[in-house]
Amino acid sequence: MALNGRQRILLELIGELSGHSVVTSVLDSVVIRRSGLPADDVNMYLDQLEGLGLIAVGLKGSGAEFGLINITRVGLKESSRKPDITQS
C-alpha cells in the first residue's frame, strides 16, 4: 500500500503511542500535538488512514472535545513495512 510521507508518519506515531497494540486507544489531541502538524491537516490524514482501514476513530462522546484512535491489525502490519523509495 502506498502511503504518502505524512500518512506514514502519523500511522507510525499512532502505533508508537499505542504500544503497537490494537486494543490501546490514543487521544487525537496527543497525535496532533506530537505530530507538529496543523490540526486540520492531521484530521484530514486521519480520515484518509481510517478510509484505508489502517486506523479506527472512535466517536467523540456527547460534549467531549476529543476522539479516540486505535490502530488496526492491517495498520500495524503497514506501519512495520519499510516504505518503497522507488515509488513517486
Query: Tell me, what CATH number does 27's domain have?
Result: 1.10.10.10
pLDDT surpassing 90 at residue 87: no
Among residues of the chain, what percentage have pLDDT more than 90? Answer: 72
Distance of alpha carbon 17 from alpha carbon 10, whole angstroms:
10
- For the full predicted model, state whether its pTM sits above 0.95: no
Residue 88 lies in a domain: no
Q: At what angle do helices 5-17 and 39-51 cross, to 10 degrees?
A: 90
Residue 87 lies in a domain: no
Q: At what angle do helices 5-17 and 73-80 cross, to 10 degrees?
A: 110
Domain that holds residue 72: 5-79
Q: How confident is the model at residue 13 (pLDDT cuts 50, 70, 90)?
A: very high
- End-to-end, the C-alpha distance of the chain in Å comes to 13
- Residue pair 55/29 in contact by the 8 Å Cβ criterion: no
Q: How confident is the model at residue 86 (pLDDT cuts 50, 70, 90)?
A: low
